[in-house]
Amino acid sequence: MSDFDWLFFTEVLVGGLLSGVMYSLVAIGFVLIYKTSGVLNFAQGALLLFAALTFVSLVERGVPFALALVVTFALMVVIGIGIERTVLRPLTNRPPITLFMATLGLSYVIEGAAQLLWGTQVHALDLGIEDIPFDVGGVFISQFDIFAAAVAAGMVALLSIFFRYTRIGLAFRAVADDQFAALAIGLRLPWIWATVWATAGLVALVAGLLWGARLGVQFSLSLVVLKALPVLVLGGFDSILGAIVGGLLIGATEKLAEVYLGDYFGGGIESWFAYVAALAFLLIRPSGLFGQKLVERV
């Protein structure tokens, strides 16, 4: 072990953890919807694409940065309400698989609408944060990744406070716990769903901007959902904290696997290794690290 390059190991580990934070940003959007409706929202990637494409298109047309942010968020709220009215409300109390299939269809509609509205060109997105690394004891750390991690931490803190200490957060949790009981005590399910979809839209906007600055704003943004799925399996589908911890674990695991095990498998293993890790974990703990354990009385 004396030849082992610990500095390099640390660099890969830190890089993986920071990449994991980016996965968590996407995963949080899934968690929000799942927590309140039990639906795995496959359209989250499409929402992310739509938000980023709308924002960058507005900025390119001369709309000031802050105004573009507000307008895009407003549009995401409208989309959230629209989805509730046209897709979720007619499917209330349908089995989860029906709702999942609806979101699958929805993802195609949103992707198509984004391209119809704003075109198919690739756009650069500059958030004004340099992506130049700084040296910490020989380990290069990206400023942009640190910024993304700070944004993710801020968002988790805000959402945690929102869920735990506000009336609407309490209502969200009640709906998540039992939709029928929530309806029985007078909670307005449609309004709650519209609000949560709008919140997921906000998360999509933030994640879209950060991923867009990294990849460029283009269709491939909608594919980042594939990075979020193993995170959800590992962290639990209904835990925001789980999304963060899961993201960190998946990010670190896949990077270390690629670097230290990749050669034994011909390289390029990180994309599927994340799923292998998640699957292995699923066998041990089906509800994920922080997911709620389902207990059914029969």
Give the interface with another protein as residue ranges (CB under 8 A): 5, 8, 11-12, 15-16, 18-19, 112, 115-117, 119-126, 131-133, 140, 142, 144-145, 214-220, 223-224, 227, 254-255, 258-259, 262, 266-272
99 vs 221, beta carbon nearer another protein: 221
The span from the CA of 298 to the CA of 288, in Å, is 23
Least spacing, CB of residue 16 vs another protein, in Å:
7
Least spacing, CB of residue 286 vs another protein, in Å:
27
Least spacing, CB of residue 232 vs another protein, in Å:
17
Tally of CB atoms within 10 A around 161 = 11
84 vs 258, beta carbon nearer another protein: 258
Least spacing, CB of residue 135 vs another protein, in Å:
9
198 vs 234, beta carbon nearer another protein: 234
Least spacing, CB of residue 288 vs another protein, in Å:
22
82 vs 119, beta carbon nearer another protein: 119
35 vs 227, beta carbon nearer another protein: 227
